[in-house]
Chains A and B, each alone.
Chain A
């Protein structure tokens, strides 16, 4: 049972345009959400996060939106740059046996075209 879903395995965007990556979750106990960027054969790099008490968090070109009622979050990258090409994972965090654990989505491969 996939608690965190990224339904688009890939996305291509023209340089300078907006990239929108989506993530859906099913567990209402999740209270913290994160986006990670990953290159092949490397560990994920933290991008941006959002607490469930907020609906938007912005950091430079990256903005994360959270819609709790729809159990949906999205990552907006604007303007997109070729260096943004990577796999993006969303993760949701919940308390489990006294520890906050992350559940990852399956990732979306973003390709930004020059």
Chain B
């Protein structure tokens, strides 16, 4: 299957600093990328949807000024957690969908996730 690479796999940062997480589709072009957050023993919660060259669409309750998303190219999307606080500690996962997918081809491929710990 297609490969989505997420970097870094884990990061520890001080409270008040910003952290950038990268998501790359390695062997396909991704028109759409998604960012999820997973709390322990809970589901993957969609945070935002980003389309290449346009502003991200955020889900209700997600602060767009805190979680900055940039989808600068068809193979790269970044999530920046600004002014991080301990409550932002979580597992963040990106996924990407192949732009060649048709109407029923809505399979998305996931990165390996990033464990963020804010101390």
Contacts and interface: CB of A to CB of B under 8 A. Distances in A.
A93 B110 contact: no
Contacts, number: 59
Contacts of A4: 43
Contacts of B97: 100
A34 B113 contact: no
Interface residues of A, number: 25
Contacts of A19: none
Interface in A74-106: 89, 93, 97, 99-106
A43 B110 contact: yes
A32 B106 contact: yes
Nearest to A97: B57
A102 B57 contact: no
A51 B103 CA distance: 11
A32 B104 contact: yes
A34 B107 CA distance: 8
A45 interface: yes
Contacts of B1: 46
A104 B49 contact: no
Contacts of A51: 104
Contact of A43 (B45, B93, B107): B93
B43 A44 contact: no
Contact of A42 (B41, B49, B95, B113): B113
Interface of B: 1, 4, 6, 9, 32, 34, 36, 41-46, 49, 51, 57, 91, 93, 95, 97, 104, 106-113, 115
Interface of A: 4, 9, 32, 34, 36, 41-46, 49, 51, 89, 93, 97, 99-107
